[in-house]
Amino acid sequence: MLIELSKSGYDVNRKRIQRLMRVMGLEAIYPKPRTTIMCPQNKKYPYLLRGMVIDQPNQVWAADITYVRAMGGFFYLVALIDWYSRYVLSWQLSNTLESSFCVHALHEALERYGQPEIFNTDQGVQFTDRDFTAVLEERQIRISMDGRGRALDNVFIERLWRSFKYEDMYLKEYRNGRHASSCISNYMTFFNERRPHQGLDYRTPAEVYAGSV
């Protein structure tokens, strides 16, 4: 940026450009802070999905967390999806990585859609937290966790994040948490009800989920 502006005749230095970019909310697209943080003391569960045929809704649910950028900082977004249909069951936005927003999203999905046979996550502290796993164990839902560093074990929710970021977040400038929440709500409705998926024979997640339960 400094070189391009200097070539155009602007007398600026690097610090001034950094300050102006912060004021304008301009930044490059690049990986942001890690959301998967391990806790050695928390119990880890084996990965149960390898080689498994998943052929119906509510057989396997999955959850994951990603960052959401907004002016002045970051928020964290958790989403729960039905593995078979890719249907987003619930989501929550938080300004911290404490486990409570994940537990809230879990309760919301269970109340609205029943329960799965297996629930899959990574080994992050939010999902190994006793407040989270106890909800699953009390309902006798089998817990599955990705191998360390194996993002592809939870590939469908990783694809949700990619779609969300390139089709919404990167195209907009979320002003604050309320604005981010409104945009995310609209996108999740679009993703579920209007966006056809090649892997679903160009049907929407809502069509596949509703047509099979």
Split at pLDDT 50, 70, 90, the class of 30 is very low
Distance CA 138, CA 136 (A): 5
CA distance 99 to 105: 10
Pick from 61, 62, 92: nearest CA to 76: 92
HSE-CB at 69 with a 13 A cutoff on CA atoms is: 18
**How far is the C-alpha of 7 from the C-alpha of 132, rounded, in Å?**
55
What pLDDT does 115 receive? 97
The band of 18, judged by pLDDT with boundaries at 50, 70 and 90, is confident
| Mean pLDDT over each residue of the chain, to the nearest integer | 87
Output the CATH code of domain 60-210: 3.30.420.10
Q: In the chain, what are the domain boundaries?
A: 1-27, 60-210
Mean per-residue pLDDT, 161-184: 94
pLDDT, one tens digit per residue, over 88-119 is 999 999 999 889 999 999 999 999 999 999 99
| Total-model pTM | 0.78
The whole-number pLDDT of residue 156 equals 86
Per-residue model confidence (pLDDT) at position 163? 94
pLDDT at 31: 47
